[in-house]
Amino acid sequence: MPDLILSGSNYARLMEGLVVTLQVLAGSVALGTLLSLFFGIGRLSTRAWVRRGSSVYVEFARGASAIILLFWMFYALPILFGIRGWSPMTAGILALGMNMGAYGAEIVRGAVLSVPKGQTEASIALNLTNTQRLRHIVLPQAVPVILPPYGNLVIEVMKGTSLVSLITLSDLAFEVQKLRVNSVVIAESATTPILYLNVLVIYFLLAFLIDRLFKVGERRVAAKFGVKAPRAARAGRPTAGVGITG
């Protein structure tokens, strides 16, 4: 049985790729969260043009392939608008963030709709503005509902970051591919399954860490607001309509 441990130089290369993967993940989640809140709330707007515009974005970004969005951002956008020095990091974050924002918007919309109407009616009776009502009444009660499926979505985005290797970004998937090619060149083909096994473990550990972080967040939010997370989410069952399309 071959040794399951790689050399120190190989792990150093993988760690370099992991740093890039985490940068893409952080940027994509930050952008995706902003888009989720903006368009999720926009879909519930009383203004028809805001509601329809938000729906168009959600349907487009959710229905488009993440790979095509990635290629369009990196190859087509600079040509159309004459952009020079367009970074593959920026293109990757924009593509994955847009894709995430569409799915996240539906999570936010569903969570806001789950808040009892009596809460909204009481805030209206208190003469709160729409912004005050959303900030102080609706969103705090929606957060416990948002977190479980949103954690699943972040894990899907994390796995989707491997797509950025297709636009020359040296992420974890790109680095393992270079190491695989080098092992074939120097006739060490037995290294290939060990390489991918190690990368598989790294992605699993990332997903596990994200899941644990969101579980901690769920417990703290539930304790703060005196609510319980939905049973299906606590059990770790998949949430319908959540995922990153390839």
Mean pLDDT of 105-126: 86
- The CA radius of gyration of the chain, in Å to the nearest whole number, is 21
130 secondary structure, DSSP code: H
- Is pLDDT above 60 for 232? no
Phi, psi of 44 (to 5 degrees): -105, 5
- The pLDDT value recorded for residue 193 is 84
- Is pLDDT above 50 for 238? no
Mean pLDDT of 47-66: 93
DSSP per-residue string spanning 149-214: HHHHHHHHHHHHGGGGGGGT---HHHHHHHHHHHHHHTT-TTHHHHHHHHHHHHHHHHHHHHHHHH
Select the more confidently predicted residue: 8 or 94.
94
Mean pLDDT of 129-156: 89
Report the alpha-carbon distance of residue 71 to residue 157 in Å, rounded: 17
User: Which residues have C-beta within 8 Å of that of residue 146, sequence separation ≥ 6?
Assistant: 107, 108, 111
The model carries a pTM of 0.85
- The pLDDT value recorded for residue 162 is 93
Mean pLDDT of 124-148: 84
Mean pLDDT of 68-82: 92
- 94-98, 128-132, 198-202: segment of lowest average pLDDT: 128-132
What domains can you pick out in the chain, each with its CATH number?
A: 8-234 (1.10.3720.10)
Provide the mean pLDDT of the chain.
85
- 41-50, 126-135, 138-147, 206-215: segment of lowest average pLDDT: 126-135
- The pLDDT value recorded for residue 128 is 79
Confidence of residue 228 (pLDDT cuts 50, 70, 90): low
- The pLDDT value recorded for residue 227 is 62
Select the more confidently predicted residue: 189 or 52.
52
- 26-30, 39-43, 45-49, 225-229: segment of lowest average pLDDT: 225-229
Report the alpha-carbon distance of residue 90 to residue 86 in Å, rounded: 7
- The pLDDT value recorded for residue 95 is 95
